[in-house]
Amino acid sequence: MVTGVTGQDGSYLAELLLSKGYEVWGVVRRRSSTALARIDHLVENDDALDSSLHLVNGDLRDTGSLLKILRQVRPDEVYNLAAQSDVKVSFDLPEYTADVTGLGPLRILEAIRELDLPSRYFQASSSEMYGLVRDSLQSEGTPLHPRSPYGSAKAFAYYTTRNYREAYGLFAVNGIMFNHESPRRGESFVTRKISLAAARIHYGLQETLQLGNLDARRDWGFAGDYMEGAWRMLQTDHPSDYVLATGESRSVREFCELVFQEIDQPLTWRGIGPEEVGVGPDGRMLVEVNPQLYRPTEVDILQGDASRAGGDLDWQPTVSFQELVRMMVTSDLEVAERQAARENSPSK
């Protein structure tokens, strides 16, 4: 059972599980328009249907729906990937974020316990819980100091998962995942926002890119690798929590520079703070800072130590930072090319 199957991670995990011959039950919440773009290729493909992807209606805010699915499916493994996962949005919707991202996991765990299921449970925990970091490299033992309603909700879910393991003997684990990206990343997250904007600028569909804090540093890896790690965590003999990270930290500014290099527009930075801009080789302003995109409290730097996962799970990231950037830009150039073709089509 995979919650959040329509999200970035859910689509990679569904692919991985189907390739291993699993029967996958994906939980989909009700939307006014379809949200299946990331898993269309799994739903529509006859071969994939043979390897069993079932979609069921459910919502992390609705205990009854979770109980019903768990009772019907009796899954061997439950991957809880569903969340209100946007940190900036969590400042606007703190109560909703706490409900979905914090209480949602509790509802699933309590249902597993209540139904006395043998299901193994994976919780998508986040490096955002470290917040105002206490160690220069964050590992499983680093104290938490969340800096957003999202981080606080994830911390609640993290401790709840541990407590259900300790109190009731459930096989329940936290994957403490640092940022992971892909061409399927939501467009509001900074990496995808940058790669898509650069591609659109390349095709003349957009003039500039507005960003917030250029100095924030993140440990960015490839989403597919992190779902491999999630699966490995449920195949061990002893349930435990693991950090998944690359061990490298880069700034938003560096990510931007690499992306614009990929479209042959190397950036030069001018000015400081809110006045800073990135200009292309012909002097055109391509990037500007918009202070409205700053957060009330920021997580300045994240850099993870995944050596425990390396040792116990034999898990390593397989995609380098440079490869990740290239993968995203290549994909977004195709997206922007299609958008440009639509803009220029005579029927428009």
Point out which residues bind ligand GDR (CB under 6 A).
Answer: 85, 87-88, 126-128, 178-179, 188-190, 193, 211-213, 216, 218, 252, 293, 295, 298-299
By CB under 6 A, which span of 1-9, 208-216, 245-253, 256-264 interacts with ligand NDP? 1-9
Q: Which residues contact 234 (CB under 8 A, 6 or more apart)?
A: 77, 79, 120, 122, 171, 173
Closer residue to ligand GDR, CB minimum distance, 171 or 226 = 226
SS3 22: coil
| Residue found under tokens 């938490």 | 144
Binding of ligand NDP by 81 (CB under 6 A) = yes
d(CA 320, CA 225): 11
Tokens of 194: 């940058």
Tell me how many residues contact ligand NDP (CB under 6 A). Answer: 25
Neighbours of 169 (CB within 10 A): 10
d(CA 4, CA 244): 19
Q: At closest approach, how far in Å is the CB of 96 from ligand GDR? A: 15
176 membership: H or E segment, kind and range: strand 172-177
d(CA 255, CA 46): 39
Closer residue to ligand GDR, CB minimum distance, 299 or 336 = 299
Binding of ligand NDP by 60 (CB under 6 A) = yes
Residue 142, contacted partner among ligand GDR, ligand NDP, none, CB below 5-8 A by kind = none
Closer residue to ligand GDR, CB minimum distance, 111 or 209 = 209
Residue 238, contacted partner among ligand NDP, ligand GDR, none, CB below 5-8 A by kind = none
d(CA 40, CA 96): 28
Rg value, the chain, Cα: 21
d(CA 116, CA 17): 24
Binding of ligand NDP by 88 (CB under 6 A) = no
Residue of 335, 179, 325, 334 lying closest to 260 (CA atoms): 325
Binding of ligand NDP by 232 (CB under 6 A) = no
Residue 65, contacted partner among ligand GDR, ligand NDP, none, CB below 5-8 A by kind = none
Residue of 311, 322, 144 lying closest to 248 (CA atoms): 322
For ligand NDP, the binding residue among 23, 61, 110, 277 (CB under 6 A) is 61
**Residue 125: beta bridge partners?**
176
User: Cα 17 vs. chain centroid, distance in angstroms?
Assistant: 18
Instruction: Confirm if 78 and 87 have CB atoms less than 8 A apart.
Output: no
- Which string of x and - marks every residue 269-308 that binds ligand NDP (by CB under 6 A)? ----------------------------------------
For ligand NDP, the binding residue among 14, 24, 85, 245 (CB under 6 A) is 85
Closer residue to ligand NDP, CB minimum distance, 57 or 344 = 57
- Which string of x and - marks every residue 153-192 that binds ligand NDP (by CB under 6 A)? ------------------------x-xx-----x------
Which residues lie near ligand NDP (CB under 6 A)? Answer: 3-4, 6-10, 29, 31, 35, 59-61, 81-85, 100, 124, 126, 177, 179-180, 186
